[in-house]
Structure 1
Amino acid sequence: MMRTTLYRTLYAIGLASLLLGWQLPALAKSDITPAAAVKLVNHGAMLIDVRTVAEFNDGHIIGAQNMEYQTIVQQLATLDVAKAHPIVLYCRSGRRASIAQQALQQAGYSAVANAGGYGELKAPFAAKTK
């Protein structure tokens, strides 16, 4: 009886670890600092907000383009953006930007950075415009 309980517990822990391990890339935060994001944009990188249109309309960084993360690859292809052109992504927390970053990299875009969440980026980008 005790051995069965132990096996079930170990099985549950192993299954949970496996499932959570697959989810970790989708939960990724930014891979560049807000200051680095500002510097990249100042040097010509395209700034893309991957949140919904409603979120974008509630507030966004001046100069950012809105392309929802689910359709970003198609939208950039429509705009004929070079695959080597630097792109800086952000969303609310960095999760959707991470998903968009992975999709873009799989599509061949080579200079894509996840700047994380809008909340962390507002102040550095506002300071840039002063």
Structure 2
Amino acid sequence: MLERLPEFLANNPILTGALIAVLALIIYAEFRRLTRKYRELAPTEAVRVMNQDDALVLDVREHNEVSGGRIGGAKHIPLGELKKRMQDIEAWKSSPVVVYCRSGNRSSMAANQLTAAGFEDVVNLSGGIQAWENAGMPLKKK
């Protein structure tokens, strides 16, 4: 059966290209995961980090998303403003910083920005505020 694989691949260039693209994306995603400089933690594990002295909880959602509730004590800096407002959080460079957004995607970008800026202990809340709510964790409403 494997002896017919080269023939199949040659006769199906679109499928072959799609296979190569999918494999490349998987390899890229795994490489990024293995080389990232921040931790991904579930809500219950992130609470342990948040309870440490001098930990910063950073909400990087947009202004209109925060009205639905946020994690108590969180500092709100939207992802688009993070680079220019980095000086607002300089004091936490050597402290734990837990970053979250709605689903965990934007906060992973923020975590990359923070580690690039020299923050030493950055944690991305895996699944974001949605995972936090699903875990039954409390939200502070304004």
TM bucket normalised to smaller? 0.7 to 0.9
Q: Distance in 1 between matches of 2:40 and 2:9?
A: 44
Number of aligned residue pairs: give it.
Answer: 123
Q: Does 1:14 align with 2:24?
A: no
- Give 2:40's aligned residue: 31
SS at match of 2:94: coil
Q: Which runs of 5+ in 2 are unaligned?
A: 1-7, 34-38
Q: What are the within-5 Å matches in structure 2 for residues 8-87 of structure 1?
A: 8-19=14-25, 21-22=27-28, 25=32, 31-43=40-52, 44-87=54-97
CA contact (8 A) 1:73 1:107 kept: no
- The amino acid of 1:13's aligned partner reads L
Q: Distance in 2 between matches of 1:35 and 1:89?
A: 14
Q: Distance in 2 between matches of 1:19 and 1:32?
A: 23
Q: Distance in 1 between matches of 2:101 and 2:40?
A: 13
The structure 1 segments of at least 4 consecutive aligned residues displaced by more than 6 Å after TM superposition are none
Alignment TM-score, normalising by the size of structure 2 = 0.70
CA contact (8 A) 1:49 1:68 kept: yes
CA contact (8 A) 1:70 1:100 kept: no
Q: Which runs of 5+ in 1 are unaligned?
A: none
Alignment TM-score, normalising by the size of structure 1 = 0.75
What RMSD, in angstroms, separates the aligned Cα atoms of the two structures? 2.8
1:46 to partner: Cα distance: 0.4
**Rg (Cα) greater in structure:** 2
Q: Which whole-Å deviations, capped at 9, do the CAs of 1:65-119 have from their partners, x for residues lacking one?
A: 1111233243232443342121001111111111111111122111000112112
| Paired-residue identity, % | 26
